[in-house]
A and B are shown apart, each in its own frame.
Chain A
Amino acid sequence: MSKQKLVIIGNGMVGHRFIEDFVEKADLEQFEITAFCEESRVAYDRVHLSSYFSHHTADELSLVKEGFYEKHNINVLIGERALTINRQEKVIHSQTGRAVYYDKLIMATGSYPWVPSIKGNESKDCFVYRTIEDLNAIEATARRSKNGVVVGGGLLGLEAAGALKALGVETHVIEFAPVLMAEQLDQQGGQMLRNKIESIGVNVHTGKNTQEIVVGGETARNTMKFADGTELEIDFIVFSTGIRPQDKLAKQCGLATGRRGGITIDNRCQTSDPDIYAIGECASWNEKFFGLVAPGYNMAKVAVDNILGRDNEFTGADMSAKLKLLGVDVGSIGDANGRTPNCKSYVYLDENTSVYKRIIVSEDGKHLLGAVLVGDTESYSDLLQYTLNDIELPKHPDSLILPAHAGGEKVGLGVDALPETAQVCSCFDVKKSDIADAVAAGHCTIGAIKAETGAGTGCGGCIPLITQVLNSELKKQGMEVKNHLCEHFEYSRQELFHLIRVEGIKTFKDLLAKYGQGYGCEVCKPTVGSILASCWNEYILSPENNGLQDTNDIFLGNMQKDGTYSVIPRMPGGEVTPKGLLAVANVAQQYELYTKVTGAQRIGLFGAHKGDLPDIWQQLIDAGFETGHAYGKSLRMVKTCVGSTWCRFGVQDSVGFGVELENRYKGLRTPHKIKFGVSGCTRECAEAQGKDVGIIATDKGWNLYVCGNGGMKPKHGELLAVDLDNETLVKYLDRFMMFYVRTADKLTRTSVWLQNLEGGIEYLQEVIINNKLGINEQLEKEMADAIDSYECEWTKTLSDDKQLARFAHFINSDAQDDNVVFTPERAQKRPAFFEEKAPIYNISLEDA
């Protein structure tokens, strides 16, 4: 039997989602699949387009896993545009003259930016904001511009304004309506958003009708003229004035289209031609089109199901949204403008911290119809569940938006209150019952749930909710909520820590024999290695411990992608002497190491061969350095500002204290890495509040913040205690560090640890300051033992010939790894790309 020919026009987010879903559900043997991709690259994430400016790699935005299309034999015609569709003969012609026949056709042609017909808008200083090419053009122009304007104060417009701001040009936003984001926010919400945006230096002009753009101006390249007679001199203009469905091709071949444009579809996503489907922004359903990705994904799924003969219907979409625009949290749910007859509102306004919240409830006060949140969107997911599932509101609905100090309660809508049909993941339309079914079928971890249902693999925003559903389902089935380390130990990290300490266990082998099973794995070995090091502070490379150490610890350096290592000596508090710098420079020059100041106020040397590490470290240690533990799950460094010693604003000696603390806690193995910051005054130049431990000078002493984090999920530290003297602060820190070491789960940073600690910061204060658990003496003693037994791991390693033998690349040859190749870059070197390596190497790779 010949294969059925499936053709998809459009390889945007929705077009690609269709293919993914189809590949998953269909027997591919029976289909021949072709996709037209007009852009020069396959599907990428348009939702996070602005992040392109910070990363600059299209790869990072790509939605297509490497080799995905090849693996499934899908023919993607990159850079080819479908020009005509002949529905009688079922053939598509492209601009290259190619003819592609179809049995079923899916149109996912998306939308195009609509630009109002303003005189002068064809200037080369005018742009739209839609593709990576648009972004490249905007960036190139921004480089030679002083200022830029976004026309359109909607969601995408503000996103674009954020991008302009990030490019470093003076940024303006022009909106025709009197408020920003008129679609999603009410007037007061729009005003609050405007205040916040203006406070970060974006100029907002509302109620402006642009009439003409003329070339030239006194201070800029162009001048915009508005209907009210005012003008704005500006270098370049980005239009973000809405989108229109791309339905040109549909009109050409005579498919029915909606009154406002868009390819007309029914509930099954079928167009007026039953062999043609339309999905995503190009489709018009009940005269509506959807400019968000979630409804598009939903349509993709419906189309796949119907092509495969399964029943599935598109029933509209919830247009609620939560996002961060120019650093401001914004949420909009349902009837945000309160247009439902007889509805009632509750409003909370705090002009001090710029928070605005409004909920719109039904006439009888029992149901939530909509919400607007600006400045604080914490209650968004709970409120959304109230509307989506029509859950009855509490007696005083205002308690949902009031802050705790004003009598509000945490919404804390338990997952058990959600109906089975509640949508948990909107990207992939996964319901609570789907998760329950997966759990019942034996998928009992978040990873397994993600793999089984797809939930949480889109934007990821629903993962906390999925976790709650998972735990609740496990509990219901009488299964314990497990945080077992792995298949070899039926204990959590915290439990193992206590077993090791209480029973004085010193080796992995003993622990495994007594409390575990099997051989061990890449999860339990390093975790136990870390616990043993925390408890007994013994040499991590001893014959018993060696095999437990992960990638970096095992050779006391951070392994880089080419198998070489970085070398980072400790520079406590960021201090280094000129003589020390000379020693670092000499060794870097001798071994041709790439040299960079790291984010931790010290100097990193990169590209060291494993075999050279001992010699390099010998030279550094001879010059008075010691290991910086940059490779360890341990205290990394203490970042300091110069403090009262030099700075005319400083009130305490932040460097001196930072050095003392770094030397005190260096080497202690912790569940995850730990960073400190010490600032000499309230200006906070050491950015201490973004660290696990943040110490900020006051007139009277120090304020102590804990559990902050930079990195992937930035979080400010929480205030543990104020105006401490040095001695008390060190005492608190000893207790805090050891309490974290004892109780955190594996690879858990302090911020997440605190988040999961029942009772939060208040509980931690009770433990650390008021000795609620009665363990403080013990914690201090354990810390004292650890400090007493500190030794520099590199010094120790260099004194042991047997250890040194481990560092050679080959056990049986003095040769070095010939696959480590460098290329010059900016007067230094970098690892060569695969393509840059000698071709002869390809041959040995082939048979590898």
Chain B
Amino acid sequence: MSKWIQVCELEKIYPSTGVCALVDGKQVAIFRPSEESIVYAINNMDPFARSNVLSRGVICEHQEQLWVASPLKKQRFNLLDGSCLDNSEVSIEAYKARVKDGQVEVQL
């Protein structure tokens, strides 16, 4: 049912940073934690500030998992499932993401 949507070339994302993509009208934050061809996608909106900023956060590792720290007040969101490390009652949407033939693709 869901289909993979091409977003951009992997090369456009500096290793250990994120970018924001417009996918089907949705703001999706895409992260590339290292030089490897692995990417993660979550919603770009910081639910605390209700601002579209998460793609601009620092990628971090805690409890052997990867998170992004919101650039506004540093709450951390899991790159795989969108859960929030600092407040278990908050979570955001997470999306499937992959690299295929040098292109980043996500599934909403």
Hey, which bits of chain A sit against chain B, CB under 8 A?
Answer: 71, 487-488, 518-523, 525-526, 543, 546-551, 554-555, 559, 561-563, 805-806, 809-813, 815, 817, 819-820, 834, 844-845, 847-848
Contact = CB atoms under 8 A, between A and B. Distances in A.
B37 interface: no
B15 A543 contact: yes
B61 to A, nearest CB: 4
- Chain A contact surface mostly: loop
29 contacts: A71-B89, A487-B62, A488-B61, A518-B61, A519-B60, A519-B61, A522-B60, A546-B14, A546-B16, A547-B16, A547-B58, A548-B16, A550-B58, A550-B71, A551-B57, A551-B72, A555-B56, A562-B49, A805-B12, A806-B19, A811-B19, A811-B21, A811-B30, A817-B52, A819-B27, A834-B50, A844-B25, A847-B93, A848-B43
Given A518-B61, A522-B74, A561-B51, A819 B45 contact: yes
Given A519-B61, A550-B71, A563 B76 contact: no
B52 A819 contact: yes
Contacts of A811: 7-8, 12-13, 19-21, 30
Contacts of B64: 518
Nearest to B104: A811
A525 B58 contact: yes
A559 B56 CA distance: 10
A815 B22 contact: yes
A848 B82 CA distance: 11
Interface in B44-99: 45, 47, 49-53, 56-62, 64, 66, 69, 71-72, 74, 76, 89, 92-93
A526 B74 CA distance: 13
A561 B49 contact: yes
Given A812-B21, A812-B22, A845-B45, 11 more contacts: A519-B61, A522-B57, A543-B14, A547-B15, A547-B17, A554-B17, A559-B53, A805-B12, A809-B20, A810-B22, A819-B51
B17 A521 contact: no
B51 A812 contact: no
B52 A845 contact: no
A561 B76 CA distance: 17
B99 to A, nearest CB: 14
B61 A521 contact: yes
A523 B51 CA distance: 22
Given A518-B61, A519-B33, A811-B8, A848 B66 contact: no
Nearest 6 CB-CB pairings of A with B: A547-B16, A521-B60, A519-B61, A522-B69, A551-B71, A811-B19
Contact of B60 (A520, A551, A555, A819): A520
Contacts, number: 108
Contacts of A820: 52
Contact of B51 (A487, A522, A543, A563): A563
Contact of A547 (B19, B26, B59, B71): B59
Given A526-B58, A848-B47, A848-B92, A519 B66 contact: yes
Contacts of A525: 58, 60
Interface residues on B, range: 35 or more
B90 to A, nearest CB: 11
Contacts of A488: 61
A813 B22 contact: yes
Contacts of B93: 847-848
Nearest to B56: A554
Contact of B72 (A518, A521, A559): A559
Q: Most chain-B Cβ atoms within 10 A of its Cβ — which of A521, A525, A813, A847?
A: A521
A729 B106 CA distance: 58
A817 B22 CA distance: 10
A548 B14 CA distance: 11
B14 A848 contact: no
Contacts of B26: 844
A554 to B, nearest CB: 6
B15 A845 contact: no
A805 B60 CA distance: 24
Among B8, B19, B47, B93, the one with the most A-chain Cβ atoms within 10 Å of its Cβ is B19
A844 B45 CA distance: 11
Most buried by A among B8, B12, B52: B52
B60 A812 contact: no
Contacts of A522: 57-58, 60, 69, 74, 76
Contact of A562 (B7, B30, B51, B69): B51
A305 to B, nearest CB: 27
B21 to A, nearest CB: 5
Given A547-B59, A562-B51, A812 B7 contact: yes
A563 B52 contact: yes
B82 to A, nearest CB: 10
Contacts of A549: 58
A810 B13 CA distance: 12
A551 B93 CA distance: 22
A272 B8 CA distance: 74
B78 to A, nearest CB: 13
Nearest to B66: A519
A822 to B, nearest CB: 13
B65 to A, nearest CB: 10
A436 B27 CA distance: 48
Contacts of A817: 27, 52
Question: Which of A488, A546, A819 is most buried by chain B, counting CB atoms within 10 A of its CB?
Answer: A819
Given A488-B61, A817-B52, A848 B20 contact: no
